[in-house]
A and B are shown apart, each in its own frame.
Chain A
Amino acid sequence: ENMSDFSLNITDCTQVVVPEEVFFTVAAAGILENLLVLIAVIRNKNLHLPMYFFICSLAISDMLGSLYKTLENIFIILCKMGYLTRRGDFEKKLDDAMDSMFILSLLGSIFSLLAIAADRYITIFYALRYHNIMTLRRALVILAIIWTFCAGSSIAIALFSYEAATVIPFTILFPLMMFFILCLYVHMFLLARSHAKKIASLPTSTVHQRTNMKGAITLTIFLGVFLCCWAPFVLHILLARFCPHNPYCACYMSIFHVNGTLIMCNAIIDPMIFAFRSPELRSTFKKMFCCAR
């Protein structure tokens, strides 16, 4: 079907446009912040630990996501200004490469979050054996496996995006991982609560209920942020695959750019809730900036 009779119905859902300045600001902030985290971990020898390597992996995947959006915007601008043709072969290849970068970012984020949750789980439940279970070498091997898998999957998905089969596993993976991460954290949370009970039952100690609230808030923030930033886009992909002609779906898909901005906001928020909670990392930052002055 050709689009020759595209009629601008007033009740149409027009594209919700995010201003370019907002786009670029959010993307640049995300990239810079995650780059700072990476530099801090690399420079401080005390931070060469499995836990921080997983946080770095998350920072890298966030950076890739923001980078993708930035490049996409730059290409839009170049297309508008006429430097790039719109149907060239080179542009299509470039577009495929950028798509795979984006899927790599999404998969990398999910697996990094999973790795962080698993690392904390092992820390709490196998504390005395932690240093034997999670050695530095094993952590690097795990990260290598994760990123190889993500790279392979992203290239495969980007190349075979025409097949229906690629979208379904992609969208099933997302809630499955979320559910698994949620289970890990809830189990850790339950242990903290039972430990609090045991402490409270000792005669000379008290437990402040407020701190358990803080655990609940922290956990909700972790998962809430990830869900709110990535789920809209995943839903977009699902709707685009299965009901592109439905007016309701089309209206949802018109907020595509807002969903993209949300993903970049995730890149800004993630370092705050993972990396910057560590005092060692914060002090490394302070040292970096103080020395720079």
Chain B
Amino acid sequence: MSALRLISNRTSQQALSNSDYTWEYEYYEYGPVSFEGLKAHKYSIVIGFWVGLAVFVIFMFFVLTLLTKTGAPHQDNAEPSEKRFRMNSFVADFGRPLESERVFSRQIAEESRSLFHFCINEVEHLDKAKQSQKGPGLESNIHFQEVPRSSGMFEEDLNCLTKFNIPNFVNTEQNSSLGEDDLLISEPPIILESKSVMQSSHRILD
């Protein structure tokens, strides 16, 4: 690569034209590099670099595993739990491209219904307090930025109602049952954003 030509303004008289892998972009032939008096092994940078890289990657892995171990306790449960299945797929799919192609699956109607019920419940809770906010949101498929930002959670609920697209982190397997599991999976961002919604969602789940 001749971007390294910056070092070698002197590549003109290379005496290596008959060796195999030479051509004019060989700036690593920096002329007489003396190899005498080396204190350490000559490949020490190579070895040091790769060892350092391996140590760093392993260290990163252990840090992440440590985060795992201090996380959820492992509970034994004999029955196959749908929630566990969902949680597995959610966490495992953390590394996978979170798919919204599930939107096109044949279960979309049912899931929309369950999400719709969830949204309806949410909005019913909040509707009592703020009647006026619902108006513009329900009319049209407006963008998030256009909804008045007077209260944090209303926008999501209004978006729920206006667009029944399933957020694309919901991983719906073909053989899974619907209902609370979807709501559970759709919780995490809400949990992050508002504690009140978490309480209400627990109300829904119970």
Binding site for B on A (CB under 8 A): 1-7, 9, 11-13, 15, 17, 46-47, 49, 51-52, 55, 72, 75-76, 79-80, 86-87, 91-92, 95-96, 98-99, 102-103, 120, 123-133, 157-158, 161-164, 167, 182, 186, 188-200, 202, 204-209, 211-220, 222-224, 227-228, 231-232, 235, 237, 239-241, 244-257, 274-275, 277-280
List chain A residues, Cβ under 8 A from B61.
216-217, 220, 224
List chain B residues, Cβ under 8 A from A127.
167-169, 186, 188-189
**For the complex of A and B, 10 pairs with smallest distance between CB atoms:** A218-B95, A216-B64, A205-B83, A200-B72, A212-B68, A193-B71, A127-B167, A196-B72, A127-B189, A206-B77
User: How large, as a class, is the contact surface on chain B?
Assistant: 35 or more
Interface string of B153-180 (1 = CB under 8 A from A): 0011001100101011100000000000
* Bound form: Cα–Cα A223–B28 in Å: 29
A-B residue pairs in contact (CB < 8 Å), sample of 8? A2-B10, A17-B20, A76-B23, A207-B72, A220-B60, A222-B95, A247-B35, A251-B45
Which one, B24, B44, B188, contacts A191 given CB within 8 A?
B188
Given contacts A95-B2, A127-B167, A206-B84, contact A193 B57 (CB under 8 A): no
Q: Which of B23-67 contact A (CB under 8 A)?
A: 23-25, 27-35, 38, 40, 42-46, 49, 53, 56-57, 60-61, 64-65, 67
List chain A residues, Cβ under 8 A from B21.
15, 17, 76, 257
Binding site for A on B (CB under 8 A): 1-8, 10, 12-17, 20-21, 23-25, 27-35, 38, 40, 42-46, 49, 53, 56-57, 60-61, 64-65, 67-69, 71-77, 81, 83-84, 87-88, 90-92, 94-101, 104, 143-145, 155-156, 159-160, 163, 165, 167-169, 184, 186-192, 205
